Amino acid sequence: MDLVGRRVSVRHRDGDGVRDVVGRVLSAEPAGLRIERRDGDLAFVPAGTVLAMRVVPDRPTRTRRAAAIAPEDLTRITSRGWPAVESVAVGEWELRASGGFTGRANSVAVHGDPGVNDPFGAVVSFYDDRGLRPLAQLVEGSAWDRAFAEAGWTPVTDQPPGAIVQVADLRTAPSPDASAIVETHASDAWLRHYGRVTDPATARAVLEGPATVGFVSIDDVAIGRVVVTGEWAGLAAVEVDPAHRRRGLATRIVETSLAWAATHGADKAYLQTMRHNDAALALYAPYGFTTHHAYRYLTAP
């Protein structure tokens, strides 16, 4: 049986104990199985340790609605959907560096306990060592948002200051556009439409980093990116050539992305956009997207 793409429950030996792993099989090789859990966390099960395994339904009954997830947990998922070239854990915080390509991939994702006495100093040292500005991505109004501000960290002024995160339940996936193409790699044409790229190799390392990612395009005039992390889909980079706007191309990109995500096991979706981007908000509203939380970037004093 070909297990790749199927959702399985595996019981295996782990040291002196036994552990169960439930998730979607990303690869099945002689050495073992690479499995993605519902929250996007990856597990490797060595072949010689498997005690029992069964295939479970591809689309399990949703136990929680998208809006019920905590902002910190959603931040972990969005980080996996936009992975940095370099990622270092400080307790539960994630220090991310990618040569300056996007704020998300070059800031510390603050969630949970950093586990050190001087987390602010650890962040500054990490980015100083890499020649990058110390930057923190913080859920607005959270305890850590207040703590960073009290420590003298201030909002950035020379780049987008942050974004709102919207979520939706994928009750019924739309149909994909017949003329849309979904590829697993970002082509030169896709990157050209995306823009904001000075180092294609670094951009591709971030954009192509997740295990399940699709680059959507229509007629070389409209693009989008969709990633599936466990049960969550992330939409990003919906761009339409200025000469071809107001023709429904963005809608076709979004619907193709959501359809692709559903076939890859997602039943919830998120996106990140500027809070005053009325065009983007209007584009996503018909699919049930509502604002979950906002985040902002603060930089060290």
DSSP 175: P
Q: What is the pLDDT of residue 62?
A: 54
Of 60, 6, 28, nearest in space to 264 by CA: 6
> Are 185 and 156 found together in one domain?
no
Rounded Cα distance, 226 and 254, in Å: 9
Is 0.75 surpassed by the pTM of this model? yes
- Domain-ending residue, one of 137, 162, 187: 162
Residue 226 · residue 261 · CB < 8 Å: yes
Q: What is the pLDDT of residue 60?
A: 53
- Domain-ending residue, one of 119, 138, 162: 162
What type of residue sits at position 131?
Answer: G
> Are 114 and 212 found together in one domain?
no
**Domain CATH code at residue 219:** 3.40.630.30
**Sites in the chain below the pLDDT cut of 70:** 1, 58-63
> Are 195 and 242 found together in one domain?
yes
> Are 272 and 196 found together in one domain?
yes
Q: What is the pLDDT of residue 38?
A: 75
Q: Is residue 264 domain-resident?
A: yes
Residue pointed to by tokens 């809070």: 275
> Are 81 and 100 found together in one domain?
yes
φ/ψ of residue 219, rounded to 5: 55, 30
- Domain-ending residue, one of 162, 181, 208: 162
3-state DSSP assignment of residue 229: strand
| N-to-C CA span, the chain | 57
> Are 240 and 183 found together in one domain?
yes
Q: What is the pLDDT of residue 179?
A: 96
> Are 174 and 286 found together in one domain?
yes
Rounded Cα distance, 194 and 240, in Å: 9
Q: Is residue 298 domain-resident?
A: no
Domain that holds residue 35: 7-56
Q: Is residue 2 domain-resident?
A: no
Q: Is residue 301 domain-resident?
A: no
> Are 183 and 266 found together in one domain?
yes
Q: What is the pLDDT of residue 120?
A: 97
3-state DSSP assignment of residue 7: strand
Rounded Cα distance, 161 and 38, in Å: 30
Residue 215 · residue 187 · CB < 8 Å: yes
> Are 183 and 151 found together in one domain?
no
Q: Is residue 1 domain-resident?
A: no
Q: Is residue 94 domain-resident?
A: yes
Of 244, 258, 249, 248, nearest in space to 217 by CA: 249
DSSP 13-81: EETTEEEEEEEEEEEEETTEEEEE-TTS-EEEEEGGGEEEEEEE-SSPPP-S-GGGS-HHHHHHHHHHH
Strands 86-90 and 50-56: unpaired
> Are 88 and 131 found together in one domain?
yes
Structural domains in the chain (count): 3
Q: Is residue 300 domain-resident?
A: no
DSSP 195: -
**Domain CATH code at residue 28:** 2.30.30
> Are 101 and 188 found together in one domain?
no
What residue spans of 100-163 are helical by DSSP H?
A: 119-129, 143-150
> Are 124 and 185 found together in one domain?
no
Q: Is residue 114 domain-resident?
A: yes
